[in-house]
Amino acid sequence: MKTKIKELRARYDLTQEDLARKVGVRRETIVFLEKGKYNPSLKLAHDVAKALQTTIDDLFIFEDK
């Protein structure tokens, strides 16, 4: 899975720590999400999308394997 988290964070001038605080997780969680090494719960995906003013569909790119 790929994400646009890093791009959108840059657009809103947010650090990983800033985004983590907004959604109530640790910075490491944001790192893993950005690298595609962590599949978020639906709630976390929703919270991140809301914090970045986008939709889950626009934020996460699911690749067929």
Cβ atoms < 10 Å from Cβ of 60? 20
pLDDT of 8 above 70? yes
**Secondary-structure class of domain 2-61 per CATH:** mainly alpha
pLDDT the model gives residue 63: 75
Mean pLDDT of the chain: 94
pLDDT the model gives residue 1: 82
pLDDT of 65 above 70? no
Distance between CA atoms of 35 and 38, rounded to whole angstroms?
8
Segments of the chain assigned E as strands: 2-3, 60-61
Per-domain residue ranges of the chain: 2-61
Average of per-residue pLDDT across 6-31: 97
